[in-house]
Structure 1
Amino acid sequence: MKRIARPRIRSSSVERLLRHAVRHWHAPDGWRAIELLQRRGSPAMVATITRLCASPRARRRAVGLSIAAQLMRKEHGEWTLYAEAQTQQLLLAGLSDPHQEVVRAAVGGLGHRPHAASVQALLRLSTHVDPRMRWQVAVALGSYEEPEAIEGLIRLAADPSDEVRDWATFGLGTLRSDDTPEIREALRTNLNDPDLDVRGEALVGLARRRDDGIVDLLIERLTPECHVYELDAAEALSDPRLAATLRAVESASSEGTDAYWLSRLRDAMEACSASEPHEHHERIVAAVKNAFEET
């Protein structure tokens, strides 16, 4: 009889999970062990994390900070943050660790548990030579309300790494509601970025700020082959000048079009049609549809 493979994590004891997390650090099984430990918020777990963060071994320190990053406890049927102040202090101390992996774990944790005292350190790390560190900083700064965080995100939105620019542009455009000339300029710059996701995040960010300077660009990019970014931007902008183009896109879409994409298209159509003038409606739709067919 063929043996049925057992899960690699055979025990839910804290010690076994910790050994698994350290041994398989950065592997899916290791992160699964960390996730299980993060849901065991208690004084004993805080003590365990504190011991890990004082370990002479960098990997154990990094595991301790990764658990601290999202330590939770279930109360009244809902998961809530546990020991936030204590874990923040451990994460802040981790920013000064001599080992880069530990610092990255601290930065990631402070994205989940922001603390104003970490902002200057995060800004310094935003120019780190390792793109993985800069990416982690871009992700973290999106959770900060401090004005200085905007400066870091604007700098990272021009980073050489596509992934870093992507997250920084998302942080500026979507995670933050601030609307300043500097933010708009950074987003406009990324409208023509070579990376698809960066271009899309910049477009959505400007649409959320009701920047009607992107209407012509959106009309150009709204085609049956466009991405969800363009549809989300059209919905956020809610400009009646986009309505005819969106209806023409729907008419030109094939039967096998992705259901989620279609739902986003219809949401955008509804948003843009609400205040649309109705005269000459059919003529405009037909003209835009013919333009698609000719190309």
Structure 2
Amino acid sequence: MKRIARYRHRARSDARLLRRATRDWHAPRGWRAIEELQRRGSPDMLTQIAAWARSSNARRRAVAISVAAQLMRRIDGAWTPFAEDETQRLLLQGLSDAHQDVVRAAVAGLGHRPHGESVEALLKLASHPDERMRWQVAVALGSYEEPEAIAGLIALSADSSDEVRDWATFGLGTLRTDDTPEIRAALRRNLEDPDEDVRGEALVGLARRHDDGIVERVMARLTPECHLYELDAAVALADPRLLEPLRKLEALARERGVRDGYWWEELREATAASGATGCNF
């Protein structure tokens, strides 16, 4: 009887989490419920997700797809993806749903669990009128190795939305190691983007590819107001010509009392990468 009672309690708990996630879909409370469900990977949970995905309630279908996207179970103390093939099939089905929330959840999921058959559908959604959908596509395509995904990211790196351009440029410049004239052209174009983050991602992407003239551009940006992008680019370049400006930047930072935090650590790494022996402060 005790085991039956525990099973029923767990079933009610799953149902409560589903109701919470459905009711608070766009709120942190709802996403916490989804995250809890994602950590309950089991054949029973997979069966429940499949049933929710057939619901007449669009938000419930969206919750099902979101749970499927990162369904996990703990094995030997580590979280491991559960039922990848089955959940990928659910995600692919979600791409053809009539409701935008479900489709967007499927796109997000296919970024976590890439499936080559989804690339064509993702590329069609890259021109969706809703910039939230285009942003999700930009994030997802960064996980794909297919050549078509590169073309999609290049197109999205010129999107009208700053956030979409930012993620597409990050996908091209940092997530991928491909080095083609088309990728470099897109990154060079975005060096002049009006958005600071887009410019920064383009700079890092070109530094990782040691593009002509990028050392001089990084040198010009190594000021006390520089961001992590410039320092990440300096680490990637590891060019001795950056050593002197980086040392000067360290000295100015110390004068201002900046001797800790991620920015400082990245500055020290960039200096070391450029050939400094380093000092103990």
SS in 1 for 2:274: helix
1:12, distance to aligned residue in structure 2 (A): 8.2
Please give the alpha-carbon distance, in whole angstroms, between the structure 2 residues aligned to 1:213 and 1:148: 29
Match of 1:220 in 2: 220
Match of 1:35 in 2: 35
Alignment map for 1:233-272 (pairs within 5 Å)? 233-253=233-253, 254-257=255-258, 259-272=261-274
Match of 2:86 in 1: 86
Unaligned 5+ runs, structure 2: 1-10
Is 1:17 aligned with 2:33? no
1:268, distance to aligned residue in structure 2 (A): 0.3
Once the two structures are superposed, what CA deviation does each residue of 1:74-132 show, in whole Å capped at 9, x if it has no partner?
A: 01111100000000001001100111111000000000000000000000000101000
Match of 1:282 in 2: none
Match of 1:167 in 2: 167
Please give the alpha-carbon distance, in whole angstroms, between the structure 2 residues aligned to 1:157 and 1:12: 45
Paired letter, 2:273: A
Once the two structures are superposed, what CA deviation does each residue of 1:136-156 show, in whole Å capped at 9, x if it has no partner?
A: 000000000111000000000
Match of 1:203 in 2: 203
SS in 1 for 2:79: strand
Match of 1:273 in 2: 275
Match of 1:152 in 2: 152
Please give the alpha-carbon distance, in whole angstroms, between the structure 2 residues aligned to 1:184 and 1:228: 21
Match of 2:6 in 1: none
Q: Is the 8 A contact 1:122 1:137 kept in 2?
A: yes
Once the two structures are superposed, what CA deviation does each residue of 1:140-193 show, in whole Å capped at 9, x if it has no partner?
A: 000001110000000000000000000000000111010101001101111111
Please give the alpha-carbon distance, in whole angstroms, between the structure 1 residues aligned to 2:247 and 2:23: 55
SS in 2 for 1:192: coil
Match of 1:289 in 2: none
After superposition, the CA RMSD in angstroms is 1.4
Please give the alpha-carbon distance, in whole angstroms, between the structure 1 residues aligned to 2:135 and 2:247: 38
Paired letter, 1:204: V
1:215, distance to aligned residue in structure 2 (A): 1.2
**Segments ≥4 residues shifted beyond 3 Å:** none
Paired letter, 1:270: A
SS in 1 for 2:225: coil
Q: Is the 8 A contact 1:211 1:237 kept in 2?
A: no
Q: Is the 8 A contact 2:243 2:276 kept in 1?
A: no
SS in 2 for 1:79: strand
Match of 2:135 in 1: 135
1:27, distance to aligned residue in structure 2 (A): 0.3
Q: Is the 8 A contact 2:49 2:67 kept in 1?
A: yes
Match of 1:190 in 2: 190
1:212, distance to aligned residue in structure 2 (A): 3.8
Q: Is the 8 A contact 1:52 1:61 kept in 2?
A: yes
Paired letter, 2:185: E
SS in 2 for 1:96: coil
Please give the alpha-carbon distance, in whole angstroms, between the structure 1 residues aligned to 2:274 and 2:184: 22
Q: Is the 8 A contact 2:127 2:134 kept in 1?
A: yes
TM-score, length of structure 1 as denominator length: 0.88
Unaligned 5+ runs, structure 1: 1-10, 276-295
